[in-house]
Structure 1
Amino acid sequence: MLHRLHLLGFSAFERSTLASCVRLAATRFPGYVEVANIADADFLVADAEAPQALAAVLACERLADTVFVGRHAPEGAAAWMPRPLDALLLLRELDAIVALRATTLAPAAVATAWPPGVISTWPPETAAVAQVLPAPGEQALIVDDSEVASCYLARRLRRLGLPSVGARTSGEALERLARQRFEFVFVDVELGEHSELDGLALCRQLRRQPAPGAREAVLVLVSAHHGEVDRVRGALAGADAYLGKPLDDGELTRLVSRPPRAAAPAARH
């Protein structure tokens, strides 16, 4: 399983060093890969001395997912390490965070262990807390033109043991679904002017001509408009569920833990 990292701040030299380290780490366990968007990242690595980096972390409420590098770190950060930058130490910090979080995942999210022998290759301090590690499995796609809204939903899904990636437009969503399988697809009804399709139209297309990654997916429409008429429109578009904004944590938890896989067939007359 590859954990996605997003780098914030840093000089060109430090960023190059970190990027090289991350590329090499893609072949190890746990593995890491750099991503371009905060919303797509499982963890952030931020320059603690760059005000804009701290502002971005706070704006997305991702302190608990961030490793800070520098003189200090704000309270609530996942980890901190001083300069000079030590890429190997960074990987050890990330390994420890991954292992600690694995022990707190809901039982339903921990299906199987990682490949035999993997934990024995880890540093002792990491292996000590890695009783069971999540195997590659379920993943969600979040289709929303708002990065803030996408981050908000991604963070809540992550707490439920469900990693996610984001798509800003209907076209980007279809491209992702053509090459990757998803367990859930969360689609905002209003996708903005840069999308060819709005959320309802995208949902209808995925039901009529499902992309490979959407054939078994639970389609969930998300909207600030969630009256009875809106929910009926969503059902007619082929959605399995409809979530209102602001998100209700209890409703989201029930949906993720017991997805509406097979609705009762409509009565025939």
Structure 2
Amino acid sequence: MSVSIPVALLGFSAFERNALASYFRLAARRNPTYVHVLDVDEARFVVADADQSGVPELLQALGRITDAVFVGAQGPEGAASWMMRPIDPVHVLRELDALVAMRDNPGTGPLPLLAPSPTISRPITLGKGTPTPLRRAADEAQRAADETRPLPTLEERRAAAETSRRQREAALRPVPLRRALLIDDSELALHFLDRQLQRYGLVTEWAQHSGKALELLSHKPFGFVFCDVDLGPHSDLDGLSLCQHIKHRHVHPGGRTPLVAIVSAFHEPVDRVRSTLAGADVHLGKPLDFNVLDRWLSQQGLTRGPELPVPVVE
């Protein structure tokens, strides 16, 4: 009887991922067979791109290093298996077969030094050979404890899956630079926005027209840009055109394009669509929508601090 084993493909390009998933389907008559799944939580094993930044760290955080076959220049410490590029689908299947055999029959061959998962008991060996008697007894005790543990409810499984999803997204999401460029022809509006963003730990600089904004963007890296749509008569570009230039044509120091927020008194659905088409990451209405701002910055890993005291002018 053929056994289908779910496998997640993590970190590869679309071409490599589709090629591996297609090979799994072509090899459907073998035993065991492997089925590509999108969610790491649903996968028994993972085939991971060791060269993709953040992927080894993500699997380490999820406790899945020992379930992963890594492909790349170097596999992380504790990986179940590792191979160099170019990707050979036959080799990948061979490594997955070896993992299945070792998990189902831990005494059949050499195993790497594996760390125990917090939720699933796995045999651990010191180098080659079968598990030590002490480790075997510990594994049997753990399996017995697992069998008596009540199964999680559907709500608990969904909550755990959602937590894991958020952890994966946070691990893969690049942390933006905590420097923001504020662009508005109104000095009063710049003061107000500056005051709000300081609560999130952002260091700010100001520009009151598009020329000054492009000058600053050419000399300093910014993680965020907050731009009004109407930049007044002294600007060659309005906010939407400037946003499009920043996102698609401007060469940024450090090579990272900042996140752009359009801040506008016009915030009807058609205005939000225009911002999206210009490349903006978020559209904030005037007066400032604090809930949208807080939710968006929280997604970027920024937490709002206490309100700053109003300066006393003597």
TM-score band w.r.t. shorter chain? 0.3 to 0.5
User: For the pair shown, which has the larger CA radius of gyration, 1 or 2?
Assistant: 2
Q: TM-score, normalised by structure 2?
A: 0.38
Q: TM-score, normalised by structure 1?
A: 0.44
Larger RCO: 1 or 2 (CA < 8 Å, sep 6+): 1
